Amino acid sequence: MRDYPEDGGEGMSQVFNGQKMLLDLPSPPAARVDGTIYFTDELLQDTSGDYFIPERFFYASPPADSDGGDAELHEHSDTKSLYALGRAVERTEAGFIVNEEQEIIPTSAFMRSFEDIAATRGELDCGLTASSTKYASLLPNPLRAKANGRMVYTVPLIIFMDDVSGNISKQWNKHHAIYMLNANLPREMLEKEFFVRFVTSSPHAAPMELMRAMKQSICDAATSGVAAWDCKD
C-alpha cells in the first residue's frame, strides 16, 4: 500500500498519482518521523528552529541536486520522500503569525511535535495574532486523542455497483451488488480479482438505498476510526 498520495509530475501511472488525491481529497492526517507522530493542522518546529503547520502530506522526488543530479535515481519510485505542504509560522511578542503563502518542506526536517511544544511552559501563551486565526489554531488535532499514540491512516476507496443475476439458470433474477477496492494499492494489484471486495447485495433494495447505507457506514468509520494492526506499526 502507498499510505500517502504521490506527486507523479506530468505523468500518472497509479491512482495515488492523481491530482484529486494529491490536492482535493482530505490529506492523510499523520506522519511518523523518527518515532514521533505529527498531525496535520498542528504547530510543530523544524530542525532550523522555525515553526510550521502542515496541511497535507505527500510523496515526491527529492530536488535534482540533492544527490548529485542522478536523473535515473529520481525517476525510481523508491527514492520518493515524504513532504508536507503547509504554512510557516513566526513567533513574535504579539503572537504567532501564520504566513499567508503555503510552502513545502521535507518531513525529515520535523523536530518537535505539538505535544513537545505544549509541554514547554509559556511557549504557547502568546497565542495567535488576529490575522492568523483564519489559517490555524493552537490546538491539537482531534485525531491525536482518538489515536492514543497510534498512527492514523486514511484509505481511499473505489466503490462501484453492478447488477447481476442471482440464478444459475438462464432466468434473470436481478441483484444490485456493491464492490470496493483499496485505492492505495498499485494498479497491478487493483487489476486482480482477489483485491475486488464484495460489500453488499440485494434483490429488493433500490441502488440508491444501498449506496446510502454504504455511505453512512463509511462516514461512521471515518468519524470513530477503525483500530488495525500491521507489520509496520
- The partner residues of 57 in beta bridges, in order of sequence, read 84
Report, as an integer, the average pLDDT of 25-34.
92
> Can you tell me the distance from the alpha carbon of 186 to that of 17, in angstroms, rounded to the nearest whole number?
10
State the CATH class of domain 15-147: mainly beta
Q: Which of 41-55, 103-117, 199-213 has the lowest mean pLDDT?
A: 199-213
- Output the pLDDT for position 130: 93
Q: What percent of the chain has pLDDT over 90?
A: 53
How high is the mean pLDDT of the chain?
86
- Output the pLDDT for position 105: 96
- Output the pLDDT for position 13: 79
CB 183 within 8 A of CB 158: yes
- Output the pLDDT for position 29: 94
- Output the pLDDT for position 167: 56
Q: Does the structure show a pLDDT above 60 at 56?
A: yes
- Output the pLDDT for position 187: 85
Phi then psi dihedrals of residue 23, to 5 deg:
-125, -30
Over 126-187, what HEC string results?
Answer: CCECHHHCCCCCCCCCHHHHHHCCCCCCCCCEEEEEEEEECCCCCCCCEEEEEEEEECCCCH
pLDDT one-digit tens code per residue, 154-194:
988 999 998 876 556 655 567 889 999 998 898 888 888 89
**Which residue ranges make up each domain of the chain?**
15-147, 157-224
pLDDT one-digit tens code per residue, 131-154:
999 999 999 999 999 998 899 999
User: Which residues touch 18 (CB under 8 Å, ≥6 apart)?
Assistant: 5, 12
Grid coordinates belonging to 177 = 451488488
> Can you tell me the distance from the alpha carbon of 46 to that of 112, in angstroms, rounded to the nearest whole number?
7
> Can you tell me the distance from the alpha carbon of 17 to that of 13, in angstroms, rounded to the nearest whole number?
7
**Other beta carbons less than 10 A from residue 24's beta carbon:** 9
> Can you tell me the distance from the alpha carbon of 111 to that of 116, in angstroms, rounded to the nearest whole number?
9
Phi then psi dihedrals of residue 94, to 5 deg:
-80, -15
Tell me 49's DSSP state. Answer: S
In order, the DSSP letters of 66-95 are GGT--HHHHHSGGG-EEEEEEEEEEEETTE
User: Which residues touch 121 (CB under 8 Å, ≥6 apart)?
Assistant: none
Grid coordinates belonging to 34 = 523518527
pLDDT one-digit tens code per residue, 64-122:
655 544 444 444 445 789 999 999 999 999 999 999 999 999 999 999 999 999 999 99
> Can you tell me the distance from the alpha carbon of 145 to that of 114, in angstroms, rounded to the nearest whole number?
13
